[in-house]
Amino acid sequence: MQKNYINSPTEVIFCKKCVHSNQKVVSSSLISDDAEHSNRTRMGFENGVCQGCLQVERKYNQNIDWNEREKKLRKILEKYRSRNGSFDCIVPGSGGKDSVFQAEILKKKYNMNPLTVTFSPHIYTDSGMKNFHNWPLYGGVHNYLYTPSGDVHRKLTSLAFKNLLHPFQPFIFGQRHFASHMALLFKIPLIFMGESQSEAGSADEKDEIMMPYKYWSKTKNQKILISGLELEELNSKYKISTHDLKFYLPNEVDELVKNNIQVLYLGEFEKFEPQENYYLATKVSKFTGNAERTQQTFSKYSSIDDKIDNFHFYTAYVKFGYGRCTEEATKEIRHGYITRDEGVRLVHKYDHEFPDRYFKDFLEYMDISEEAFYETLDKFRPDHLWEKKGNDYKYCKNWILKHKVK
């Protein structure tokens, strides 16, 4: 175990309104992410309340005139709407509840013609594969799916796990940047995302309707890190070329600006609530949740496409002391579906749960032993968060979280 390897605040403070803490990392430029997450800031607090809660309150609880927001969006879309039936906007997604919601609202309410684009998961779950195919089949959208080389993606994922304890990072690269490549290819200037990063606690995006270029572009000759390594090292040591990485990497900001390509947050104009999106998706594309509760949380319908996904949340739990249930309960509290006390009980019940359902798949995909998996996790455990208890390392039973939300 390293002493605060990732440079988190050593004093753990929990929000008075949700169940998150000041260990929460907020969005950054992916291409600068190193093992210490030195480019990442932590969620800020004001008078004991986190920035995420403050932003959601500003958005939903201060008599916002949603009709005015709709008018504002309609005015923006007038500049982009196709007059001949061609694609006029892009919706990245996998056929999950949020991407189905966005495409449906844009089509039916705003008369747009979205092209949907998908960067493939590592290993589809049965539910994920079914929901993805049902999206164009029943949801009436056109879709382009990009599936990277399994050899390349597996190497990048393994390196990201070993170097950053962030096995999902290469997928997030593709998820965030693939859409802009398609926008340039098809000359479609408008890309839609769901919620602003400010709702995840990023104070510098407060009241932004467009995603700042710094999150999804690069400057000319800017140094890029992916899986904790520079591009030259990936090529020389692991035979992963820039051609292999084309759709993972961001485009240059000058090229995006020249082509007027922008990312717009639909959630700034339409109420973007997880449960409501789920209900709509079940009607539009026959979206189905998991038959079983998702491990490490209480839900069955959020982020269920990928067998590796569970380890994205579990590795964050190791590094930052908050897990998947904390993330989902926080959203439910902020949108008024559960109380904070209910959220606390859910976190105590599920946050520590080890995601063993796809553990064998994860180890085989990464080509590592179970012992090497635990050793890597322990390398990144900050000592201000974790205390070792006993020697039963199976499913991390020998580690106890020092600070729990109350």
Question: Is 95 inside any structural domain?
Answer: yes
Question: Is 252 inside any structural domain?
Answer: yes
**pLDDT, tens digit (0-9, with 9 covering 90-100), for 114-167:** 999 999 999 999 999 999 999 999 999 999 999 999 999 999 999 999 999 999
- In the prediction, which pLDDT does 1 show? 47
Helix 324-334 with 340-350: angle, nearest 10 deg: 170
Question: Is 233 inside any structural domain?
Answer: yes
In angstroms, rounded to a whole number, what is the distance separating the alpha carbons of residues 233 and 238?
Answer: 7
In angstroms, rounded to a whole number, what is the distance separating the alpha carbons of residues 155 and 233?
Answer: 13
Amino acid in the structure at residue 327: E
List, in sequence order, every residue forming a beta bridge with 146; answer none if it has no partner: 119
Residues of the chain with pLDDT under 70: 1-6, 38-39, 61-62, 197-207
Question: Is 26 inside any structural domain?
Answer: no
Question: Is 75 inside any structural domain?
Answer: yes
List, in sequence order, every residue forming a beta bridge with 33; answer none if it has no partner: none
Question: Is 194 inside any structural domain?
Answer: yes
Q: How many domains does the chain have?
A: 1
Question: Is 36 inside any structural domain?
Answer: no
In angstroms, rounded to a whole number, what is the distance separating the alpha carbons of residues 261 and 259?
Answer: 5
The domain in which residue 167 lies consists of 66-268
- In the prediction, which pLDDT does 48 show? 95
Residue 147: give its domain's CATH number. 3.40.50
Question: Is 369 inside any structural domain?
Answer: no
**Cβ atoms of residues 299 and 325 within 8 Å:** no
Helix (H/G/I), strand (E/B), else coil: 200:
helix
- Within 8 A by CB and 6+ apart from 348, the residues are 404, 405
- Within 8 A by CB and 6+ apart from 293, the residues are 299, 300
- In the prediction, which pLDDT does 201 show? 52
Taking alpha carbons only, the member of 27, 20, 21 closest to residue 202 is 27
